[in-house]
Amino acid sequence: TQLLEQSPQFLSIQEGENLTVYCNSSSVFSSLQWYRQEPGEGPVLLVTVVTGGEVKKLKRLTFQFGDARKDSSLHITAAQTGDTGLYLCAGFMDSNYQLIWGAGTKLIIKP
């Protein structure tokens, strides 16, 4: 059983559209990170959110941590082809100092 569920698993949209991907759990995390992974590369950290309700913006990307620190969302405004990739969320559990990973959302932005 995965502790972190990501949805959708796959998303293909046209350039210019908006989208939201979700990361949900029944567990509480001390923090939550979002990574992007491109083909043939390792994941690269985009953002870390720590406080319940926290919202962080990275250009056209908006990340939100749920109030109860059990879920998170990533919203992309006016998607571009360069946003294509696998988006992974990872929750930090300070009970065992481990990052728990979601299975990822594969995002394809078509020109």
Give dist(CA 98, CA 8) in Å, integer: 24
CB closer to other proteins out of 19 and 93? 93
Question: In this structure, what are the phi and psi dihedrals at residue 81, rounded to the nearest 5 degrees?
Answer: -60, -30
User: Where are the strands (E) in 1-111, listed by range?
Assistant: 5-7, 10-14, 19-24, 31-37, 44-49, 55-58, 61-65, 71-76, 85-93, 98-101, 105-110
The answer to the question of residue 68 lying near other proteins (CB under 8 A) is: no
User: Which residue from 57, 103, 108, 111 is in contact with other proteins, where contact means CB under 8 A?
Assistant: 103
Which span sits near other proteins by CB under 8 A: 18-26, 30-38, 58-66, 73-81?
Answer: 30-38
CB of 68 to other proteins, least distance (A): 16
The answer to the question of residue 11 lying near other proteins (CB under 8 A) is: no
The answer to the question of residue 23 lying near other proteins (CB under 8 A) is: no
33, two tokens: 């990170």
CB closer to other proteins out of 35 and 109? 35
